[in-house]
Amino acid sequence: MPILLYDLVGADTGRPFSPHCWKVAMALAHKGLEFTSMPAPFTQIPALEGGATKIVPLIRDGETLVSDSFDIALYLEETYPDRPTLFGGEGGKAMARFVERWSQLTIHPFLGTAILMEIHDCLAPEDQAHFRRTREPRFGKPIEEVPLDRDDRLAGFRASLEPLRSMLTYQPFIGGASPLFSDYIVFGAFQFARVVSPYQALAGDDPIRDWFERCLALHGGLGARVPAAA
C-alpha cells in the first residue's frame, strides 16, 4: 500500500504548494517509495486522521503517522535504510538541521511575506478567511500590506543567499555530487514560490536557478509536473 502524504492545497487540488510538503514528496521519491498525495486544504487539516496533527505534512505509512518534514525524513531514513540515503550518514543528518535552520530563517521570512497575497489568492474561499484571520494578528497589519515592500527587500534577500551560491561553485548539490534531503529543504522553499506566484525572487542569471532546475528534473521531473504560476 502506498504511503499517504497529506499535502497542502488551495482551490486547485492539483497544485500542492507547501514548502514542507514538497520536501517530503521529494524525500519519498528519493527513497523510491510509492506515495499518494492527499489534498489537504488549511481548514481540513485539524480533521485529518482523527485529529492527528495541526500541521502538514503528515504521512501515513501503514499504521504509522508522522508529521513535521524533518521528522518524516528521519523516519524514512530509519525505516528504509536499504533505500538511497537521504542524509549520507550521521554527519549529514546533523548538518541538514543547520541547512534547515538557515533556510527557515533566511529564505522563508522573505518568500513567505513577498508572496503572501498570492498564497491567499490561490486558496478556496473558506481557507482564505482562515488564512486572513490567522495571519493578520501575526503580522499586525492587513495581509494586503505585508508584501508591499518586497521589491525594496529583494536585493537584500538575494545577497543573503550568497552562502548557497558560493557553495554551488564547489559542487552541484548541497548534498555533494548528488542531492540529499538538505537539497529538498531549500528546494521546497523555492518550489513553494514557483507554484504560488510568478514573482521572481531570483535574478535571471543566478546560478541558484540552475541548481533549482536540476532539482525540478529529479525523480522523473516530480517538481516540474506542477506548472509554474503564471
Q: Residues in the site for its own copies, rule: CB under 8 A?
A: 85, 87-99, 101-102, 104-106, 162-164, 166-167, 170-171, 173-177, 180, 182
**Residue 59 to residue 62: CA distance in whole angstroms:** 10
167 close to 174: Cβ distance less than 8 angstroms: yes
CB of 173 to its own copies, least distance (A): 7
Q: Which is nearer to its own copies, 115 or 174 (CB)?
A: 174
CB of 29 to its own copies, least distance (A): 18
DSSP state for residue 18 in the 8-state scheme? -
140 close to 159: Cβ distance less than 8 angstroms: no
**Residue 201 to residue 196: CA distance in whole angstroms:** 12
CB of 130 to its own copies, least distance (A): 27
130 close to 143: Cβ distance less than 8 angstroms: no
Q: Which is nearer to its own copies, 28 or 180 (CB)?
A: 180
CB of 101 to its own copies, least distance (A): 4
Q: Which is nearer to its own copies, 70 or 199 (CB)?
A: 70
Q: Which is nearer to its own copies, 43 or 85 (CB)?
A: 85
C-alpha cell, 160: 543573503
Q: Which is nearer to its own copies, 122 or 185 (CB)?
A: 185
Helix (H) or strand (E) holding 36: strand 35-40
Place of cell 513567505: 112
CB of 151 to its own copies, least distance (A): 21
Nearest to 87 by CA among 182, 173, 219, 170: 182
